[in-house]
């Protein structure tokens, strides 16, 4: 199945909110070797002016990937996930993510570019709190490899 070029311009609405917990921040920080004490210690976070533990900037990927899953699961997209190669990821934080945030992400397919028998798909996830305050924008590019000629 080939990638549907009509995906460009398509948007997927925000799904269920992701509740950011202290433990998830600590786990993510440990897994990514983020060492700032504000990721682990409430006093350190408060000393930097945060209401609770603050997540590493790349924590936004957790919410963005939940939004990306809608595109991959869309039967009209034609994406075979076993053929996906992650090409690029960028983050723009509008404000820090802290424990207690309830985050949602709307996904936008900004570009679909044919590349041989495959395609490069660029998406943008607009992450906000469940009450609409902007938190982060992530831009991701994936290469969906085409099927090899027989």
Mean of pLDDT values over 91-113: 97
* pLDDT value, residue 148: 64
pLDDT bin (cut points 50, 70, 90) of residue 4 is confident
**Best CA proximity match to 58, nearest among 87, 84, 85, 96:** 96
pLDDT bin (cut points 50, 70, 90) of residue 147 is confident
Q: Where are the beta strands (DSSP E) in 77-117?
A: 84-93, 102-115
Quote the mean pLDDT of the chain.
94
* pLDDT value, residue 5: 87
* pLDDT value, residue 1: 47
CATH of 5-20+57-144, one of 3.40.50.12640, 3.10.129.10, 1.20.140.10, 3.30.930.10: 3.10.129.10
Q: Where are the beta strands (DSSP E) in the chain?
A: 11-12, 18-19, 84-93, 102-115, 118-129, 134-144
**What are the boundaries of each domain within the chain?**
5-20+57-144
* pLDDT value, residue 149: 41
pLDDT bin (cut points 50, 70, 90) of residue 29 is very high
């Amino acid at each position: 199945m080939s990638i549907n070029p009509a995906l460009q311009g398509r948007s997927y609405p925000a799904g269920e909110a992701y509740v950011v917990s202290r433990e998830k921040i600590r786990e993510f920080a440990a897994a990514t070797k983020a060492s700032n004490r504000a990721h682990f210690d409430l006093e350190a976070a408060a000393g930097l002016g945060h209401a609770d533990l603050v997540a590493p900037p790349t924590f936004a990927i957790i919410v963005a990937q939940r939004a990306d899953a809608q595109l991959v699961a869309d039967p009209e997209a034609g994406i075979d996930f076993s053929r996906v190669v992650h090409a690029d990821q960028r983050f723009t934080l509008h404000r820090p993510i802290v424990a207690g945030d309830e985050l949602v992400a709307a996904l936008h397919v900004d570009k679909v570019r044919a590349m041989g028998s495959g395609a490069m798909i660029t998406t943008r996830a607009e992450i906000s709190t469940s009450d609409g305050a902007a938190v982060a924008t992530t831009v991701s590019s994936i290469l969906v490899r085409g099927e090899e000629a027989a």
